Amino acid sequence: MSFVGFPKEGVAWFDALALTQTREWFQANKGAYEALWLTPMKALLEELPGPLAKIYGRKMGPAKLFRLNRDVRFAKDKRPYKTHIAALIPFEGFEPMAGPAALYFHLGAEETVAFGFYMLEAAGLKTLRAALLDEKQGPKLAALINVAVKQGFSPDAMERLKRTPPGVPMDHPRAELLKNKALALSCDVIPKSVRYSAKFKPWLLEQAAIAAPVVKWGLQHKLAG
């Protein structure tokens, strides 16, 4: 089956799940979830790795489709289900959650598309900060990020400091980038013109091409092992 898009009525399914948040409702409506979301998602994930490999010049690893069940063991929010379907395509040689994302996206009651290094170990963060502080490397990396920002992306990370790192003045020219503890790009707006059709796939690939220079920089500088 080829990817033809996600149907508009799929959002209403997640809206209903958000209101009920019960296993009974989910089990009774599981068939609709599989038809509206799971089947087209699996078709899309089959078609993306090849084009992504051409964009990045690297092979992709196996795609990861996230479970709808939330891990609530240590969370204040005890809702059992997520209100979106999410997937990640990693680069070959990296674990899906430990390395950079060639592409991450989720769709449903909320939506996001993201690329790159969402979290970094200490060594990778040290390398990133050293580059941003360097008077030659820093402006070059900032320029790459700024190109993506002008096309709708935001610099992103799992953790962000309220202030610049110790010893870095608040008026440093790359202060905002230095507050991020990783190197990712995200976009929370998917055009309605592509959201519910087969056009969503080429749009995702267009976004990957925009983000690729920043992600490639992180790969070349070995931000993740």
94-148 pLDDT, tens digit per residue, is 988 889 999 999 999 999 999 999 999 999 999 999 999 999 999 999 999 999 9
DSSP H helices in the chain: 10-20, 23-28, 30-33, 39-47, 49-56, 122-133, 137-149, 175-179, 192-195, 200-220
**Contact by Cβ (8 Å): 15, 36:** no
Give the pLDDT of residue 39.
97
Q: 200-211: b or e for each residue (b if 16 or more CB lie within 10 Å)?
A: bbebbbebbebb
Give the pLDDT of residue 23.
93
Tens-digit pLDDT string for the chain (225 aa): 899 999 999 999 999 999 999 999 999 999 999 999 999 999 999 999 999 999 999 999 999 999 999 887 777 788 899 999 999 999 999 988 889 999 999 999 999 999 999 999 999 999 999 999 999 999 999 999 999 999 999 999 999 999 999 999 999 999 999 999 999 999 999 999 999 999 999 999 999 999 999 999 999 999 997
Give the pLDDT of residue 71.
83
